[in-house]
């Protein structure tokens, strides 16, 4: 719902939403630019909410139209925090424009703005990069090739309001045991992956899918021999997942099903044994995880 406040300062403020509302922006703007003389025509500031990210991030368009109808400023800015924080950032941008464009006589009549405060808040708004970073961790069960415990660490990096995010992760599984005719061995998979994640439109509940390549290794440890041996076999593959997320502001919990696919067959061969055991080329796991946005 649009709101309009005709302030006693140099600017009339109009906002297309209640966060930040025009009233909140005016309250932040008053100390920065002061009151306007009765005979001074007021400029008009327009605030439009273009897109919401999570519950605290928004993409705004801020415009300042001079009393003669000319456009004095037009900026797209990503801000986060409470409505008061958004109003603070918007007011600082408007005050900076007014400081640059208001005539020296008008500035003298209205009272000088506080340059230090304006600069600090304007910089805070402008330098809130549109790049976001979310870190998370998960644990679960790997169910193919024998049961194992799985664990993952991950980071999502991308534009703060975009549905597309780059995903970087490191995952591992606990060891599985196989028995052979003259002994046995344990093996586990570990992988580092980089991929692309796409999320559904922002809401409390969101779906996400991701896919990408990984490099990893199988660690094998022979048992039942006079000299146990351990081998790490490096390889590559692809990973993909489907995820359901529940957001709580900057925090989220999620449940996902993930697969690792190893294109080249891997097998365990123990000296003294006639058996050759192929390791699973597909790791399928179900993980429960949590994540938090650390920037912005």
Residue-wise pLDDT for 159-174, tens only, equals 866 789 999 999 999 9
- 261 — pLDDT class (breaks 50, 70, 90): very high
- 14 — pLDDT class (breaks 50, 70, 90): confident
Of 51 and 95, the one with more pLDDT: 95
Q: What value does the mean pLDDT take over residues 219-240?
A: 81
Residues 97 and 33 sit within 8 Å (Cβ to Cβ): no
pLDDT higher than 50, residue 117: no
- 123 — pLDDT class (breaks 50, 70, 90): very low
The per-residue pLDDT for 34 is 61
Domain ranges of the chain: 3-126, 131-295
- 124 — pLDDT class (breaks 50, 70, 90): very low
- Give the global pTM: 0.60
Average pLDDT, the chain: 78
The per-residue pLDDT for 73 is 83
Cβ within 8 Å of residue 114, ≥6 positions away: 31, 32
For the domain bounded by 131-295, which CATH number is listed?
A: 2.40.160.20
Specify the CATH number for 3-126; select among 3.40.190, 2.40.30, 3.30.160, 3.40.50. 3.30.160
Give the DSSP H/E element, type plus range, for residue 23: helix 22-33
Which of 17-26, 111-120, 239-248, 249-258 has the lowest average pLDDT? 111-120
The per-residue pLDDT for 288 is 97
Cβ within 8 Å of residue 171, ≥6 positions away: 150, 151, 152, 153, 190, 191, 192, 193, 260
The per-residue pLDDT for 64 is 85
Which of 44-58, 83-97, 139-153 has the lowest average pLDDT? 44-58
Cross-strand pairs, 165? 197
Residues 156 and 133 sit within 8 Å (Cβ to Cβ): yes
């Amino acid at each position: 719902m649009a709101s309009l406040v005709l302030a006693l300062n140099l600017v009339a403020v109009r906002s297309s939403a209640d966060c930040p509302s025009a009233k909140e922006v005016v309250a932040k703007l008053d100390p920065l630019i002061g009151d306007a003389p009765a005979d001074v025509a007021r400029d008009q500031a327009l605030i439009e909410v273009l897109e919401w990210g999570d519950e605290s991030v928004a993409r705004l368009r801020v415009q300042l139209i001079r009393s003669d109808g000319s456009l004095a400023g037009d900026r797209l800015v990503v801000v986060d925090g409470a409505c008061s924080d958004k109003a603070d950032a918007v007011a600082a941008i408007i005050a900076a424009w007014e400081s640059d464009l208001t005539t020296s006589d008008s500035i003298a009549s209205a009272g000088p703005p506080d340059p230090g405060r304006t600069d600090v808040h304007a910089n805070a708004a402008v330098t809130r990069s549109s790049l976001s970073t979310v870190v998370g961790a998960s644990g679960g069960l790997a169910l193919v090739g024998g049961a194992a415990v799985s664990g993952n660490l991950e980071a999502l990096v991308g534009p703060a309001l975009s549905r597309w995010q780059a995903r970087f992760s490191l995952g591992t599984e606990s060891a599985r045991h196989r028995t052979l005719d003259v002994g046995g061995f344990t093996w586990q998979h570990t992988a580092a992956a980089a991929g692309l994640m796409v999320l559904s439109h922002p809401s409390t509940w969101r779906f996400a899918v991701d896919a990408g390549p990984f490099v990893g290794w199988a660690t094998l440890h022979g048992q039942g021999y006079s000299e146990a041996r351990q081998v790490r076999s490096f390889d590559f593959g692809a990973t993909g997942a489907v995820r359901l997320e529940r957001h709580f502001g900057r925090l989220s919990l999620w449940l996902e099903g993930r697969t690792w696919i190893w294109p080249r067959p891997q097998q365990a061969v123990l000296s003294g044994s006639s058996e050759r055991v192929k390791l699973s080329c597909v790791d399928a796991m179900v993980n429960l995880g949590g994540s938090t946005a650390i920037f912005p």
